Amino acid sequence: MASSPASGSRLWETDPILTVEHLFMRFGGLVAVNDLSFNVGRGDITALIGPNGAGKTTVFNCITGFYKPSAGRLALAHRRAATPAEIDAATAIGERSLATGDAAVYLLERLPDYRVSGEAKVARTFQNIRLFTGMTVLENLMVAQHNALMRASGYSLRGLFGLPSWGRAARAATEKATFWLDKVGLLERADDPAGDLPYGAQRRLEIARAMCSDPILLCLDEPAAGLNPRESLELNTLLRSIRADHGTSILLIEHDMSVVMEISDHVVVLDYGTKISDGTPEAVKSDPRVIAAYLGVDEDAVEEAGAEIEEIVQTGAAS
Amino acid sequence: MAAQIAEPAAGGTGAPARADSFGPALKDALIAGLVTLGLLGPLVGFHAVVKDEGMNGQAALGLDYRPGLVAIMVGIVFAGRLLLNLTVWSPNRVVATRSGPTVFDRIGTTLGPAIKPALLAFAVGFPFLAAFLMGGLNESRYLVDVGILILTYVMLGWGLNIVVGLAGLLDLGYVAFYAVGAYTYALLATSAPINDFFAGLLGATFWANWAFWICLPLAGVFAGLWGMILGFPVLRLRGDYLAIVTLAFGEIIRLVLINWVDFTGGGAGIASIPRATFFGIPFNASEDGFAARFGLDFNPMHRIVFLYFVILALALVTAFATVRLRKLPVGRAWEALREDEIACRSLGINTTNVKLSAFATGAMFGGFAGCFFAVRAGFVSPESFTFDISAMILAIVVLGGMGSQIGVAVAAAVMMGGMELLRNLGFLSNVFGPGFDPTQYRMLLFGLAMVAIMVWKPRGLVSTREPTIFLKERKAVSGDLVKEGHG
Amino acid sequence: MDIFVQQLINGLTLGSIYGLIAIGYTMVFGIIGMVNFAHGDVFMVSAFIALICFLLLTTVLGITSIFLALAIVLVVAMFFTALTNWAIERVAYRPLRGSFRLAPMISAIGMSILLANFVQVSQGPRNKPVPPMIGDVIVLMERDGYQVTLAWKQVIIMVLTAALLGGFWYLVQKTSLGRAQRACEQDRKMAALLGINVDHTISLTFVIGAALAAVAGVMYLMYYGVVNFADGFVPGVKAFTAAVLGGIGSLPGAVLGGLLIGLIETFWSAYFSIEYKDVAAFSILAVTLIFLPQGLLGRPEVEKV
């Protein structure tokens, strides 16, 4: 699962890992997501941006199974991109997933939330951090390996009697947790309660926890929110390394444009639940519709904003 | 007694305003006294007495008056409140922060690892200690009986602790599983067809001698199965709804036990259930009996002491299994579920299965305890499985500190021991008059204790949480960070 | 047919009582999101207060007009029950606001046990019968010796319930208290920022709930003529069932649920088995919560992620 850095090649068109087609989400009379279609490229860092209330988190909740979409298809392809024919076949037979030799298609809209993570291997973090605050940092990472450990413990029977195979699995799980703790710089705090960590560390721990469930697609809901510039920079490094070393594709919601413009390969812009722009960061930031959506349609403001974004991007790149 | 209810009633009312003024304190105390008068006046001051009039047996009500009692209670509240306003609640006093480890936690850390073996040694040696202290085996009967009672509740507390303390699911119908266990044993052990079947196969006394040991695992399995059957439809519900539905299930099972007379014997219950045996050897005076086989003089206390060790062993199995399960993925998932159900689902954990496993495991231990109850009492009836029992077990778990094993054990000993103590307060009738019966205040005190714990120490005796795994150093997690029960 | 009409009347009477208690559950749940487990016992306490007041009026003060006595009993019971519930909220629930979610519920369970046993200790465990208060009945129809009757006390119960509900609806919909209450339901913090005294509003909610429960208590005593310290539990659970069935948080729902539960209970007793009538009520509770947790008139909840 080697990833190719997305220089110039538009992976979301040639090798999509997730295909969102005609997604609708209604709450009563409110249409939060309106006919949204986009692709997420395999090995890409894709950013989903948009003004407040644009429906970004709702899209996330649909992808990760917490909301059932009102309509639409969310096809996740394991190993290689699924052909439209394969996706249609999976849709037609009414199954939740379809494995065809070298690939597998999961129709996320049909999976309950825990199976989106457990089987389709889509992990997520939350806008308002959801750690197990009363458990230690290490325990948080052990819980993330629940399904694998459950099988290793013989659904508790082997573990209850302390068989050696369980001991090996438990040690391996601890090692994996240690690896990720080291990676996010929390090894020293492994035995502290997660709730005692400072905010930035909690954000990193949540990412480490999501990674412990071995995802192929990692969905991050505003990972840079509340971070100071230094932490923001560390986050960029972490996300790049996750993509490069583990081949995990990343989909993130972010308001911090310096993060978005610097690390993403592909940007999708939402406004009022509809897609208004989709392309490389360079293409998106000069799209007048995006500027208008962020700052209203006043001509002067649009120009000003364009300059401002330019400036942010340059400082972001320089730092 | 009831005066205490009202005492903190005005606890929240305006805190004394100025540092130097006696006036506000007095006014506040007066209001508290008046509120107490209003609360207690009607129901304590007057007593509707049923008077049987003449021969026709027509009951009629008359009124008695107890103004003195109300006056005393109001006086206590007034004086107590005034005193508190001037001292503890005085605005001059610096308020200590409430969080941080409790006294009990500190005792726990200082005594550290010594406390568990010490308690265990005490529990194992208790019957002998009792016999020694009371000067004979027969004289120790009462103490050993109390020990059995306490250990039964320790076990029930530990069983419910899995559901409420670890998984954070408020189960108000736990007594149903206790009942399932008890009735499983009672029905199977007294069943004539089973007895005849084994009589033809393995001898006439086989079933009577072995019923308990064969039914014990069955009782646990059945109770666990019932836990799954009842749990499956309701575990999607939010915490407080779940509590009410489990309460309803508990009541349904009890009402069915009362009304299905053909099967359960109805309200009269099931009597003459076979007694426990020493692994097939009955405790009787016969040649094959326990005493004769082991060259002892026959004494009915042998069976009681044996029962004590049976329940001790069962309780320890519960504790051991819980400790073990907590370190397994399923146990960690229980605690993670208590912390944040949505995060659990985002990590691929099937929360329904996790809840179900907690529910069934807790129910199983309740079933074991129920089986033991039936063999100890030799009699079961629906009367023994009321909501009050569920509430008592819950109170033990809550007082102990949800999730803490030592805390639950100590809470069970304090609460059940305290109840027993009430029986021995007969001398108080010299003070309060001959009609005074301390045992009738049992449940009143229990209810009061539950409210008081929630108001003053919602985290219970042991408020810290032991982590299940550590890299370098085991650090206890402060109770303030641990979430209890989820929405 | 005759039996059916008779049971319909009986069921609606019983349902009115349940409906009045259910409002207390639904209001408290609406405003602080807790199941006030002790509410059934508050109802029982109110019946005892009514009993004592009634005895005092008839045997000691010698009031002969039963309607005058009832009116006084109603006011007295409402006052003292409201005071009791006010104190309960102060002592057992208010300190727990902001504690973990199940804390107030556990406290309420303790309070329920406390109230029942307080009454048992102070008034004794025996049933307390009162002489029949209003014995007159109206014969609606008569066929083959079977009379369908409407007792005056049933008329009183239904009329009083309807009148109270009207007044209560006015209170919630049209007054500033009702507005404050609805604001607290939506967002307590914001309501406080806008100058609503949240503590005061919550206290008043408990007071109103208790006053309605007291009316139910008086009518229960009048209707059945007997009360016992354990009478809070089962009617309490049934009223809670009514609140859930109607959609917890919805006031018309509570009344509708109460009437339905009353009807189901009487018809079940009449046509199936009286032994299993409580089982039926408990089963409805379980089935409603499992399959229709938002109730008949409630709004479905969207899980916040």
> Chains with 3 or more CB pairs closer than 8 angstroms to B?
A, C
Q: Measured between CB atoms, does C290 come within 8 Å of chain A?
A: no
Least confident interval from A292-301, B339-348, C140-149: A292-301
Regarding predicted confidence, which is higher, B24 or A77? A77
Q: Which chains, if any, share at least 3 CB pairs under 8 A with chain A?
A: B, C
Pick from B258, B263, B251: nearest CA to B381: B258
pLDDT for A304 equals 62
pLDDT over 80 (residue A82): no
List the end-to-end C-alpha distance of chain C, in Å, as a whole number.
Answer: 53
- Per-residue H/E/C for A193-256: EHHHCCHHHHHHHHHHHHHCCCCCEEEEECCCCCCCHHHHHHHHHHHHHHHHHHCCEEEEECCC
* pLDDT value of position B13: 43
Residue B12's pLDDT is what? 42
Reported confidence tier of residue A316, pLDDT bands at 50, 70, 90: low
Instruction: Indicate whether B313 pLDDT > 90.
Output: yes
Put simply, the answer to whether B335 touches A209 (Cβ < 8 Å) is no
Scanning C187-228, the segments in alpha helix (DSSP H) are 188-193, 198-224
A115 plus A135 within the same structural domain: no
Question: Do the Cβ atoms of B253 and B222 come closer than 8 Å?
Answer: no
The model's confidence at residue B428, banded by pLDDT at 50, 70 and 90, is: low
Cβ burial C112-142 (10 Å sphere, 16+ → b, else e): bbbbbbbbbbbbbeeebbbeebbeeeeeeee
Q: Are residues A74 and A22 in the same domain?
A: yes
Q: Given B342, B471, B478, which is nearest A138 (Cβ)?
A: B471
Beta carbons within 10 angstroms of residue B255's beta carbon:
18
**Set of chain C residues whose Cβ sits within 8 Å of the Cβ of A62:** none
> Do the Cβ atoms of A150 and B325 come within 8 Å?
no
pLDDT > 50? residue B412: yes
- Is the pLDDT confidence value at B8 over 60? no
pLDDT(A154) > 70: yes
Q: How many domains does chain A have?
A: 2
CB contact under 8 A, A136 and B348: no
C305 touches chain A (CB under 8 A): yes
Indicate the average pLDDT of chain C: 83
CA distance C84 to C106: 19
How far is the C-alpha of A230 from the C-alpha of B35, rounded, in Å? 59
> Which domain-ending residue is among A194, A213, A232?
A213
Q: Is B466 on the interface with A (CB under 8 A)?
A: no
pLDDT at B94 over 60: no
- Verify whether the Cβ–Cβ distance B449 to C303 is below 8 Å: no
Is A43 in contact with A257 (CB distance < 8 Å)?
A: no
Q: What is the mean pLDDT of residues B88-112?
A: 58
Instruction: Select from A213, A240, A274 the last residue of a domain.
Output: A213
Helix-, strand-, coil-residue percentages of chain B, each rounded to 5: 70, 5, 25
The most confident of the ranges A26-30, C40-44, C297-301 is: C40-44
Q: How confident is the model at residue B148 (pLDDT cuts 50, 70, 90)?
A: very high
Check whether B14 has a pLDDT greater than 50: no
More confident residue, B266 or B340: B340
Domain with CATH 1.10.3470 in chain B: 108-456
Looking up tokens 């308002």, which residue turns up?
A128
* Neighbouring chains to C with at least 3 Cβ pairs closer than 8 Å: A, B
Question: What pLDDT was estimated at residue B160?
Answer: 93
Cβ under 8 Å to B: A residues 125-184: 126, 130-136, 138-139, 142-147, 149-150, 153, 155-156, 159-160, 162, 174, 178
pLDDT reported for residue C301: 63
The answer to whether residue A6 is domain-embedded is no
CA–CA distance, B166 with B337 (Å, rounded to integer): 9
What pLDDT sits at residue B10?
A: 41
pLDDT at site A208: 93
Contact C271, C21 (CB under 8 A): no
What is the per-residue pLDDT across B41-74, written as a single tens digit (0 to 9) for each? Answer: 887 878 877 776 544 555 667 777 888 788 888 8
β-strands A30-41, A71-78 pairing: unpaired
CB–CB contact B388 C113 (8 Å): yes
Which of C95 and B24 is assigned the larger pLDDT?
C95
Which helix (DSSP H) or strand (DSSP E) does residue A71 occupy? strand A71-78
pLDDT reading at B19 higher than 80: no
What does each C-alpha distance from C273 to B253, C196, C233, C267, C277 come to in angstroms? 17, 51, 21, 9, 7
In chain C, where are the structural domains located? 2-230
For C91-108, what is the mean pLDDT? Answer: 83
Res. B16 pLDDT band, cuts 50 70 90: very low
Q: How far is CA B422 from the centre of its chain?
A: 16
Most confident of A102-106, A220-224, B78-82, C178-182: A220-224
Phi-psi region of C249 (alpha: psi -120 to 50; beta: other; left: phi over 0): left
Same domain, A93 and A28: yes
Asked if A109 and A139 sit in the same domain, the reply is no
Selection from A22-36, A203-217, B93-107 with the highest mean pLDDT: A203-217
Q: Residue A274 is part of a domain; what is its CATH number?
A: 3.40.50.300
Does residue C119 register a pLDDT over 80?
A: yes
Place of tokens 């000691």: C60
Q: Which domain holds residue A160?
A: 130-213
Token pair belonging to A253: 């919601």
User: Region B163-183: what's the mean pLDDT?
Assistant: 91
B433 pLDDT tier (thresholds 50, 70, 90) = low
Q: Is the pLDDT of residue B340 over 80?
A: yes
Q: What's the rounded Cα separation, in Å, for the pair A54 and A254?
A: 12
The domain defined by B108-456 carries CATH number 2.60.40: no
Residue A112's pLDDT band, with cuts at 50, 70 and 90, is confident
Distance from C-alpha of C198 to C-alpha of C187, rounded to nearest angstrom: 10
CA distance B467 to chain A (A): 7
Q: Look at residue B196 and tell me whether its pLDDT is greater than 90.
A: no
CA closest to B325 among chain A residues: A160
Please name the member of B11, B39, B50 whose beta carbon is closest to the beta carbon of C126: B50
Task: Check residue B374 and give its pLDDT.
Answer: 92
Would you state the pLDDT for residue C123? Answer: 82
- State whether A176 and A309 are in the same domain: no
Structure confidence at residue C284 (pLDDT): 85
Region B201-224: mean pLDDT is 85
Q: Which residue has the higher pLDDT, C51 or A163?
A: C51
Indicate the pLDDT class of residue B473, thresholds 50, 70 and 90: confident
* Residue of B186, B367, B180 lying closest to B265 (CA atoms): B186
- Which of B324, B468, B477 comes nearest A160 by C-beta? B324
Residue B343 has pLDDT above 80, yes or no: yes
Average pLDDT, chain B: 80
- Show Cβ contacts of residue B318 under 8 Å, excluding neighbours closer than 6 positions: B155, B158, B159, B365, B368
Q: Token pair of B451, please?
A: 């409210």
pLDDT surpassing 50 at residue B17: no
- Give long-range contacts, CB 8 A cutoff, 24+ apart: B479-482: B479/B401, B480/B99, B481/A133, B481/A134, B481/A193, B481/A194, B481/A195, B481/A196, B482/A133, B482/A134, B482/B338, B482/B339, B482/B403
Whether residue B201 is predicted with pLDDT greater than 70 in this model: the reply is yes
Residue A19: strand, helix, or coil: strand
Residue C96 pLDDT > 70: yes
Of the ranges A7-16, B357-366, C225-234, which one carries the lowest mean pLDDT score?
A7-16
Amino acid at B186: A
More confident residue, C143 or C169: C169
* Residue keyed to tokens 């088995």: C273
Higher-confidence residue of B282 and B145: namely: B145
Q: Is B344 on the interface with A (CB under 8 A)?
A: yes
Please report residues of C whose CB lies closer than 8 A to that of A61.
305
Report the residue of C32, C99, C122, C133 to disrupt the B interface, i.e. the one with the largest count of B CBs within 10 Å: C122
Of B21-25, B328-332, B417-421, C300-304, which range is least confident?
C300-304
Whether the per-residue pLDDT at B296 is higher than 70: the answer is yes
Name the maximum alpha-carbon separation found in chain B. Answer: 89
Give the range among A80-94, A295-309, B29-43 with minimum mean pLDDT. Answer: A295-309
- Measured CA to CA, the distance from residue B283 to residue B291 in angstroms comes to 7
Give pLDDT tens digits for A164-216. Answer: 788 888 888 899 999 999 988 888 888 888 888 899 899 999 999 999 988 99
In whole numbers, what is the pLDDT of chain A averaged over residues? 83
Distances (CA, A) of B441 to B423, B435, B438, C39, C121: 10, 13, 6, 21, 7
